[in-house]
Structure 1
């Protein structure tokens, strides 16, 4: 009888040990959009240039020092990958080509003919102007959320927002500087 009780107590202890929540630092959610230090988005993208129109899916992971932006065309065709390492090296990979540099916008323009200010878009995608240059923001009178940001010749137009962890983040937006235009539909946000 004591053996059965001992086995039951041991089994219960093992099960409860396996089911305990791991302890460690828990990162609280950001309290404002500008406080977001790390994020990941995914969704649909449409890119129009004077010579081309590209559409597909995108996934963008960003932290304070690095980023990884992947665009994949329909049925997995035409993958373009743009990454920045902790050391500041930017790598652009497409087709059978891999190019490195220090400025992501310059690599995209030189290699693909895409005008896309990656560093600024990392702010615009959160509904914020880039603090490094002058801008003009127009807010929607009903929601007080940004409806447009004008900055460095680019017009960013927001048509829909979603709420993530109590913060309003863009869900549909367009970034344009004719003849260049990028439409983003964001299906998923993960923020820290």
Structure 2
């Protein structure tokens, strides 16, 4: 077979390989980088170990069907177990408590009626109309990606975490604050976006929470 003929046969194959290996990379937002700062590994270790806390603040949810706000009377985290107490006049929620671990939740309404489910997000949405990714939020609230899923981290010009993209959500860290002297700065305001839904969480206080016997 003539060399020129072999070359013509190879050209379509080369073009196909080039097309298959071309990866569309989403451009970075202006002023941001996906390269972690030098202290990111140490910071991640410290925040991962910070898994016993109590915080207070405010939660605001906006979605096409309804919107509302709630006071976070407390969010107590002990390892994987959480105890979240909310107060809101929205949709008659009143004082609602959510207790659980990843993959399980117990929700108690103001009238004392209790519901349990192995799908925390679905139960919260059915009871309140709000879509709250609770299992992931336990990590996002500390400025960490949730384990077991793909994610992308974006850092701003001051080398602070600005955005986590994971599970279809974009988590924006609007403000950081030093709440505890022996911990890195912690999120003070977070905005979570997914499609036409927005969840905003403002933290007024972080404290350590001692393990109960």
C-alpha contact (below 8 Å) 1:47/1:182 kept by paired residues = yes
Q: Secondary structure at the match of 1:136?
A: strand
TM-score normalized by structure 2?
0.68
Q: Could you say which residue in structure 2 is the equivalent of 1:154?
A: 169
Q: Could you say which residue in structure 2 is the equivalent of 1:177?
A: 194
Where in structure 2 are the equivalents of 1:29-108 lying within 5 Å? Answer: 32-58=46-72, 59-73=74-88, 78-84=94-100, 89-96=104-111, 97-108=113-124
Q: Distance in 2 between matches of 1:175 and 1:84?
A: 21
Q: What RMSD over aligned residues (CA atoms) do the two structures have, in Å?
A: 2.4
Q: Distance in 2 between matches of 1:32 and 1:138?
A: 19
Q: Distance in 2 between matches of 1:98 and 1:172?
A: 30
C-alpha contact (below 8 Å) 1:82/1:104 kept by paired residues = no
How many equivalent residue pairs? 160
Q: Secondary structure at the match of 1:170?
A: strand
Shift of 1:187: 0.4
Change (3 A) 1:134 1:85: closer
Q: Secondary structure at the match of 1:92?
A: strand
Q: Distance in 2 between matches of 1:48 and 1:116?
A: 11
1:18-57 superposed Cα distances (whole Å, 9 cap, x missing partner): xxxxxxxxxxxxx711221211111111112322111121
Q: Could you say which residue in structure 1 is the equivalent of 2:127?
A: 111
Q: Could you say which residue in structure 2 is the equivalent of 1:6?
A: none
Specify every segment of 5 or more residues in structure 2 that has no aligned partner in the other structure, as ranges. Answer: 1-44
C-alpha contact (below 8 Å) 2:62/2:68 kept by paired residues = yes
Specify every segment of 5 or more residues in structure 1 that has no aligned partner in the other structure, as ranges. Answer: 1-30
- Segments of 4+ in structure 1 off by > 3 A? none
Q: Could you say which residue in structure 2 is the equivalent of 1:188?
A: 205
1:167-190 superposed Cα distances (whole Å, 9 cap, x missing partner): 110001111113221111100001
C-alpha contact (below 8 Å) 2:124/2:131 kept by paired residues = yes
Shift of 1:85: 6.6
TM-score normalized by structure 1?
0.75
Q: Distance in 1 between matches of 2:101 and 2:145?
A: 24
Change (3 A) 1:112 1:170: same
1:91-138 superposed Cα distances (whole Å, 9 cap, x missing partner): 112243321112321211232222111010000000011021000010
Shift of 1:65: 3.3
